[in-house]
Amino acid sequence: MAAQVIANSIVLGLTLALMGIGLTLIYGILLVVNFAHGEFYMLGAVFLYYVTSSAGLGYWVSAAVAIVAVGVLGWALEVLVFRRFHGDLIGGCIAAIALTIGIQSITWEVWGPRTRAVAAPVRGHTEIFGAVVTNERLLIAVVSLVSILALAWFIKYAKFGKAMRAVSEDSEAARVQGIPAMKISALAFGLATGLAALAGVLVAPTTFVNPAMGSIPLTFAFIVVIIGGMGSVAGSLIASMIIGLQQNLTALWLGSQWSIGVAFLLAIIVLVVSPKGLMGHD
């Protein structure tokens, strides 16, 4: 029982982490709360569906195409729209909300009022320490974990990652050092939206795909960044694990209908006790 809860929590936590880390990266660098982040998740899944069904490509190739397409879209939107809102909380929110409405309505128009399913790349289940995990979920967890580790390495050691950290720390000082802050923020936005699309393509086979599917992951991403602290990747990862566990325990003890409410309550408590989340910066 305990092993099952822990396994479920880790799998869920790793899924949430991809969205949370993207949102926190964007905030750290642009100082913009990306209310449209759920749409990039949704677009990942929707593009995956179209590439697999129309081009007849396999899951992995289609997933790569979808992620790159969403990443490029994110990059373009940063250059066209979000660039003007660095540091403007309300303006950035409104712009992101406007994009959410636009992206969703266009997708509804093209997609139609229905849900579709995407075939899973793996089948069956695996037993780990007495906990049963379906291979689909195991795959999500492993790919998420590998991506997060790669991202952590990238941010810590790669030249671009170091530049991202510098801009996040102090954009003005970074620019004085010759770091092209604007280029970095556009690329970071593309990277973060690509992560959202990755979450979308990973989760797509386990759920139904439709244009409204981004709203719940967005809600969870908010909870994760509130608890982890805006701008902290490590904080987001820890917070995702906490929320993964909280979701399973709340469902077990109170019933799953309370799981989002309790998560937000937890977030409020963390924020009031420690106003910048667990590891957030300004």
Partner 1 sequence: MTKASPLRWAIIGVLAAGLAVVLGLVPFVGGSYYAHIGILVLLNVTLVMGYRLLCLTGLYSFCHITFFAIGAYTSALLSTRLGYPVWICFIAAGIVAALFSMALIIPAGRVRGVYFFLVTFGFLEVMNSVFLHWSSLTGGDAGIAVFAPIIGTGTQTQDYFVVLAFAIVTVLIMYRLERSRFGRELAPIGSAEGLASVSGVNVFRNRLLAFAIGAAFAGFAGSLFAHDAAYISANDFSWWGSVYILVWLVIGGERKMWGPIVGAVVMTVVAEGLRMSGIMQALFYSGVLLLTVMAMPQGIVGLVGYLRAKVGGARTSGDEGPPPVDRLAEGSP
Contact positions vs partner 1 (CB under 8 A): 27, 31, 33, 81, 84-85, 87-91, 93-95, 97-99, 101-102, 104-106, 108-109, 219, 222-223, 225-226, 230, 257-258, 260-261, 264-265, 267-268, 271-272, 275-277, 280, 282
The C-alpha atoms of residue 17 and residue 252 are separated, in whole angstroms, by: 22
To partner 1, the closest distance from the beta carbon of 211 in angstroms equals 11
Please report, for residues 33, 79, 139, 227, 282, the alpha-carbon distance to residue 88 in angstroms, rounded to integers and kept in the order given.
9, 16, 38, 22, 13
- H-assigned helices in 204-258: 215-228, 233-253
To partner 1, the closest distance from the beta carbon of 145 in angstroms equals 27
To partner 1, the closest distance from the beta carbon of 133 in angstroms equals 28
Closest CA to 85 of 182, 227, 194: 182
Residue 54 or 257 having the CB closest to partner 1: 257
Residue 106 or 150 having the CB closest to partner 1: 106
To partner 1, the closest distance from the beta carbon of 117 in angstroms equals 25
Residue 163 or 223 having the CB closest to partner 1: 223
Closest CA to 205 of 62, 37, 35, 36: 62
Residue 59 or 111 having the CB closest to partner 1: 111
* Residue 228 contacts residue 24 (beta carbons within 8 Å): yes
Instruction: Determine the residue type at 270.
Output: V
To partner 1, the closest distance from the beta carbon of 14 in angstroms equals 23
Residue 93 or 249 having the CB closest to partner 1: 93
Closest CA to 21 of 36, 37, 8: 37
> Residue 133 belongs to what H/E stretch?
strand 131-134
Residue 59 or 220 having the CB closest to partner 1: 220
To partner 1, the closest distance from the beta carbon of 4 in angstroms equals 25
